[in-house]
Amino acid sequence: MTESTGKPAGAGVSLNPRDLDIFEFARSAREAAGAVRLSQLPRMLNEVPADAPDRDTVFTWQAAGFTQQELQDDGTEGPQPYLRLAIHGSAWLTCQRCIGPYEQAFNADPVFRIVQTEEEADEFPLDDDDADVIVGSRHFDLVDLIEEELLLSLPLVPKHEVCPAIHESLASGADGAEGVDSVDDVPEQEVETEERVNPFAALESLKKDGPGSKH
């Protein structure tokens, strides 16, 4: 079960991270924190190998809403809602060199500019390094946003810093060549090909869609 706590400044009140009025959350400068298990994030769980030592790790998160005075479409200045989200935890992935499971740490701290419509989101500059954009709603799923950020934080080529062993196909030379003694002996061309076909590279396209499209 997802645990969470939330409060406006100076008072305590619970909130449902699956059904959050994100506009009110930002306007009231509210804060919330909680934990979510990997079993509650089905798309992330798909990335965890079946032989992982732990397939249900826990991620902690903290969310804070705030506003900034910005120029509006009518030429006047007004409060623009924002959300800061911090996510910490780890998950087991498959190393693409030795094909064994390894534990990958996740530490994300994105800031989101909250807009009302998809049209507003499309007008937001893609090269803005300060904040991403999400389409908010009064029934916003914060857990879905957490999962999106974890997916985007997946390494393009998951691998150990130092592999404990090399995969059998590398040791025996599956292509008919002589075996190699270590991962470092794998020809550079094979490593490059591995990176090109790695399915994790496609996850970067999720950033364009934005988790706020589900509202």
Radius of gyration of the chain, Cα coordinates, nearest whole angstrom: 21
Tens-digit pLDDT profile for the chain (215 aa)?
Answer: 455 545 444 344 578 999 999 999 999 999 999 999 999 999 999 999 999 999 999 999 999 999 999 887 777 889 999 999 999 999 999 999 999 999 999 999 999 999 999 988 888 776 666 789 999 999 999 999 999 999 999 999 999 999 987 656 555 544 434 444 444 444 444 444 444 445 444 445 544 555 554 44
Question: What does the alpha-carbon distance between residue 168 and residue 102 come to, in Å, rounded to a whole number?
Answer: 17
CA atoms within 13 Å, Cβ hemisphere of 152: 19
The answer, as to whether pTM is greater than 0.75, is: no
